[in-house]
Amino acid sequence: MAADLRALVEAQAAAHPDAPFVIEAETGRTLSYGDLRAVALTIARRLADEGLSAGDRVGLAVPNGVEAAALFVAVIAAGYVATPLSLLATSEQLGFVLNHSRCKFVFAGSLQAEALVQLQRAHVETVDSPFALGQGEWPLPPRGENDDALLMYTSGTTGRPKGVRLTHRAILAGARFVSEAHELRGQDRVLAVLPLYHINAQIVTVLAPLWHGGSLVMPQRFSVASFWRWAAEYHCSWLNVVPTMIAYLLNGLDPIGDLSAVRFCRSASAPLPAEHLSSFERRFRIGVLETMGLTETAAPVFTNPLRHELRKPGSPGQAFGSRARIVDPASGAPLGDDEVGEIQIQGANVMAGYLDDDAETVKTFTSDGWLRTGDLGRRDRDGFHFITGRLKELIIKGGENIAPREIDEALLCHPAVLEAAAYGVAHPLYGQDVEAAVVVKPGAEVSEAELLRICHDLVGAFKYPRAIRFLAELPKGPSGKLQRLRLQP
């Protein structure tokens, strides 16, 4: 395995310099592996000329496209720490991240640059045209496998965002695990529609193709109207989405074009409702691989097998690359098959810790080096894991634990419901009771009474929600992951 990302870029550029690495969906503009190395040299010299030292953090706030994908790889290969900034962040959030990370330099899209300049936290350079292609030698020596490569900030729904430190070893392990788990090769091409300021997009759809010598098609943003056309036009062999996108594709038009090259659709970042999985496979005749990863694990942790008959709907799959265990949240004692507890992870892709937060880092790791995920779940006898909820999201009603996802699944059984999320609310007698929020499909109608009745029938009188709110959208993070705690009053 390459010791750092630069070594991987060099190896792939030498092996097939003219092969495409990233293709811009809207225009067809292509950057080859040889061009990628040349762009990285240009970026390396630009940052060195600015006086940055090895390991300095460089902010990235560039919308998806050829430049964004190239910049992400180039900054890390040049010897710096890429620090992606959410394009949806407020000025206050951006200011916090820039201060905390001590970014000295930010590459920004033209729409993002003005707000960043006003913050006066770092030098901002606008990216509004293709990069020049450099030649020659790297200004800085290569980094080691234990040096930081990527600084990712968590969404911070329960407090200030934390800076997740991912080393070269971690991000390359993540890329390798994705490539090996899905048996990806140089001829494979992914339709990459997730925002590049999220770990899923970075590891799964940029670094994994770089690892196996494949390519990615990157549009500026996800589009239901264009999704299938892009997949067909560019002969994509796999798709990488989140459950929210699957819901919207199911509510969209039938595909146009030849999709025979598509081998599978990978779903991650949030649980995929069983009804959406079966509907997607029936309608589009494309198998879905449910998977799961975390920012703290450089994306991949669990995946279902490629062979359709071996997959288990409702499970993100078996541990691949990483090791996983289920423990009692109170005692830390390992649990057996089908016992529910906290999921803990260990492996080469696990983070080094949180930036400037030793106390939180110590809390997040066990004394024997396992990452506490905060996810509740169980493992069956075949090694498949099933997620039942989050420790912080668990609803405790009258001393009984209720997994919100069980209510979500019941609500999604109604054909008018596009998305659903149950959550806990304070109750004077029970401690907590259940409420839920739903998004109704465009043009559909359903009453609260109908939804309460279906929940009562499917989950019982004790668990069904006491009220349902109808919303235009559910609160989500940059990857489309539901932020359930924001629904609580």
- Report residue 88's pLDDT band, with 50, 70 and 90 as the boundaries: confident
- Report residue 1's pLDDT band, with 50, 70 and 90 as the boundaries: low
User: Residues 175-202: what's their mean pLDDT?
Assistant: 97
Encode pLDDT of 435-472 as tens digits. 999 999 999 999 999 999 999 999 888 898 999 999 99
Q: Where are the beta strands (DSSP E) in 273-392?
A: 288-294, 299-303, 317-319, 323-327, 341-346, 353-354, 371-379, 384-390
Structure confidence at residue 157 (pLDDT): 45
Using the Cα atoms of residue 459, residue 464, residue 468 and residue 472 in order, give the sign of their dihedral: negative
Structure confidence at residue 296 (pLDDT): 96
Encode pLDDT of 4-35 as tens digits. 999 999 999 999 999 999 999 999 999 999 99
- Sheet of strand 417-427: strand arrangement: 417-427, 431-440, 467-470
Instruction: Tell me: pLDDT of 356 over 50.
Output: yes
Check if CATH label 1.20.120.10 holds for domain 393-487. Answer: no
Structure confidence at residue 478 (pLDDT): 64
Cβ-count burial of 95 within 10 angstroms (0-12 exposed, 13-18 middle, 19+ buried)? middle
Q: Which CATH class is domain 5-385?
A: alpha beta
Q: Which range, of 243-247, 398-402, 437-441, averages the lowest pLDDT?
A: 398-402
Q: Where are the beta strands (DSSP E) in 380-430?
A: 384-390, 395-397, 400-402, 417-427
Do 106 and 82 meet the contact criterion of CB atoms below 8 Å apart? no
Structure confidence at residue 390 (pLDDT): 78
| Positions of CATH 3.30.300.30 in the chain | 393-487
Instruction: Tell me: pLDDT of 394 over 80.
Output: no
- Residue 89's nearest CA partner among 156, 149, 158 is 156
Neighbours of 156 (CB within 10 A): 14
CA dist 128 and 299 (Å) reads: 30
Structure confidence at residue 479 (pLDDT): 60
| Positions of CATH 3.40.50.12780 in the chain | 5-385
Encode pLDDT of 256-309 as tens digits. 899 999 999 999 987 888 889 999 999 999 999 999 999 999 999 999 999 999
Ordered DSSP codes for 72-88: HHHHHHTT-EEEE--TT
Structure confidence at residue 393 (pLDDT): 81
Instruction: Tell me: pLDDT of 156 over 60.
Output: no
Mean per-residue pLDDT of the chain: 93
Percent of residues, the chain, with pLDDT higher than 90: 82
